[in-house]
């Protein structure tokens, strides 16, 4: 091992010494910053990876899923659970619950609402006494047609896409999630 500082003399500091010190100080800063960057730069990419383009950490349930027979739905809202195969980061799980929907028939028109409150994501309930959908968290209330009637929710309940399958015998829903807290219904 070579000794770095042979012959240095701290008793008689000179101008050359000062320059050298300054160089060493800058060197410490530069090397230290370089060392930190070795970890920090990939760490940023790594941590922000779920946001990167083309990355889908959770997937599944993009298709229409049969939730029941068409004739079981009527004027009283029915809550249906939606099951699908789901990929969640490293796991692939078959037939798990990915969400639920309220299905109601109003003047011959079928509606399927996501049970996720557009305000902050609590699960909306049906309240039989008032015949309304009510969010248990912040008391937003919605009519059976999904219209926003009271409370802080910025928009009506989110209508989900659905289709009637097998000559209208079965009802299938495509479950999607939408951004919360904004006026427009935008897919997440």
Partner 1 sequence: MGVGKKLIGWLDERTGLVALIKGGLDEDVPGGARVRYVFGSVLTYLFLQQVVLGILLATYYSPSATDAWASTAFIQDRVAGGWFLRGLHHHGSSVMVVVVVLHLLQVVLAGAYRKPREVNWWTGLFMGGLVLAFALTGYLLPWDQKGYWATQVATGIMGTVPLGEPMQHTLQGGAQYGNLTITRFYALHVFVLPVTLTVLLGAHLYLFRRHGVTPPASLSDEELARKTQPFWPNQLFIDVAAMAVTGAVLVWMTYRTHGAELFAPADPASNFVARPEWYFLFLFQLLKYFEGPLSIIATVIIPGGVATFLFALPFIDRSESRAAKKRGPVLAGVGLIMVGVVVLTALAVVADANNEHYQEGLVAAHEDAERTRELAAEGVPPEGGTAVWQNDPQYAAIAVFKETCATCHEIDGRGAEEAPSLTHYNDRAWLRGAVREPRSLTYFGGTKGHEEMEAYSVEDLPDEQLDAVIEFLLELREQGKDEPDPSAYDAKLAKQGAALWEDELDCSGCHEIEKGADGVGTPVFWGRGTRAWIARVIRNSSQADLYGENAEMPAFEGKLSDEEIAALADYVYAQGLAD
Which residues of the shown chain bind partner 1 in the complex (CB under 8 A)? 1-6, 8-11, 21, 24-25, 27-28, 31-32, 34-35, 38-39, 42-43, 45-47, 49, 52, 87-94
What H or E segment, with its residue span, contains residue 43?
Answer: helix 15-47
Is the Cβ of residue 45 or residue 187 nearer to partner 1 in the bound state? 45
Integer Cα distance of 114 and 146 in angstroms = 10
In the complex, minimum distance from the CB of residue 65 to partner 1, in angstroms, rounded to a whole number: 19
Is the Cβ of residue 93 or residue 165 nearer to partner 1 in the bound state? 93
SS3 142: strand
Is the Cβ of residue 37 or residue 76 nearer to partner 1 in the bound state? 37
> What is each CA distance from 27 to 34, 49, 138, in whole angstroms?
10, 33, 57
In the complex, minimum distance from the CB of residue 42 to partner 1, in angstroms, rounded to a whole number: 4
Q: Which two tokens stand for residue 6?
A: 């042979």
């Amino acid at each position: 091992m070579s000794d770095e500082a042979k012959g240095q003399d701290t008793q008689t500091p000179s101008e050359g010494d000062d320059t050298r010190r300054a160089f060493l100080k800058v060197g410490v800063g530069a090397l230290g910053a370089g060392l930190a960057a070795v970890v920090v730069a990939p760490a940023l990419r790594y941590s922000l990876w779920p946001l990167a383009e083309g990355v889908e950490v959770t997937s599944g349930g993009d298709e229409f899923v049969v939730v029941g027979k068409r004739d079981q739905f009527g004027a009283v809202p029915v809550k249906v659970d939606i099951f699908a195969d789901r990929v969640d980061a490293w796991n692939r799980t078959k037939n798990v619950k990915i969400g639920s929907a309220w299905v109601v028939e109003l003047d011959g028109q079928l509606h399927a609402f996501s049970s996720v409150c557009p305000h902050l994501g609590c699960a909306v309930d049906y309240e039989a006494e008032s015949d309304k959908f009510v969010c248990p968290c912040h008391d937003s209330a919605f009519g059976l047609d999904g219209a926003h009637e009271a409370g802080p929710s910025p928009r009506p309940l989110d209508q989900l896409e659905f289709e009637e399958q097998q000559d209208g015998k079965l009802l299938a829903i495509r479950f999607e999630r939408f951004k919360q807290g904004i006026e427009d219904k935008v897919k997440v």
